[in-house]
Amino acid sequence: MIKKLQQIAFVRKQAMCRDRWFILLILIFLAHLGCESIKGSGIKELEGQTVFNRVSFRAHGANTIKSANPFSGGVFIPPGTECSIKAISTKEIKFIATEVEYILTGWRMGYGGVNTRVSFYKFFSQDKEAVGLDRVNSDFRESVLAGIAEVGMTKGEVLLSLGYPAYLGKKNSTTDDSRAAILANDHWYYLRDKRKKVLLQFKGGVITEILEQ
């Protein structure tokens, strides 16, 4: 009986070792794939170059910017600001704007060169005109540049003023959503703080209601 239990324990130990090695190999593979996707996307060439943020940013803490902006607060960086790219990695993009260094985290939507490239251009543009500031309704221009949302704004104007929402609907995080997927949804939730949200409801492509949740 004791010998049988020892054999079972030995088999289990071997299985655990195999599992650990398998997990380690997967992690190494993913890390390698991430590095390759950065190189293969072509965006590494933008290090040292100047681009423009397609949406507003709000920095918190150690000048950290998340993929989804809170509804308000933090250091506001208006859309179309010159951003000098310092370094691009799988986890973050370091850049300088108005002589201050910032870090954009959680910016990638998946693996592979194509996803990496699409992820970068979700936040930045090499062409300032492509940001779309000249297409903002003159009635909302000041609000857009101040990071304020108003009923009647288009989705594009909201992205310029508030950046990307945290959720589409109450539970669908936008971290892995493309810009197109976000624009296709009519219920955008921004975080007011850890407990409170603000819902922007759209109809016909414009805000109809701004609701505190």
Average pLDDT in the chain:
88
Residue 67 is predicted with a pLDDT of 96
Q: Which fold has domain 149-212?
A: Beta-lactamase Inhibitory Protein; Chain:B, domain 1 (3.30.1450)
Residue 4 is predicted with a pLDDT of 64
Residue 111 is predicted with a pLDDT of 79
- Whole-angstrom Cα distance, residue 69 to residue 78? 12
The residue extents of the domains of the chain are: 149-212
Residue with the bigger pLDDT between 194 and 122: it is 122
Burial of 116 (0-12, 13-18, 19+ CB in 10 A): buried
Residue 85 is predicted with a pLDDT of 98
- Give residue-wise pLDDT tens across range 3-20: 665 666 666 666 665 656
- Give residue-wise pLDDT tens across range 14-41: 666 565 654 443 333 334 444 557 878 8
- Give residue-wise pLDDT tens across range 71-120: 999 999 999 999 999 999 999 999 999 999 999 999 999 879 999 999 99
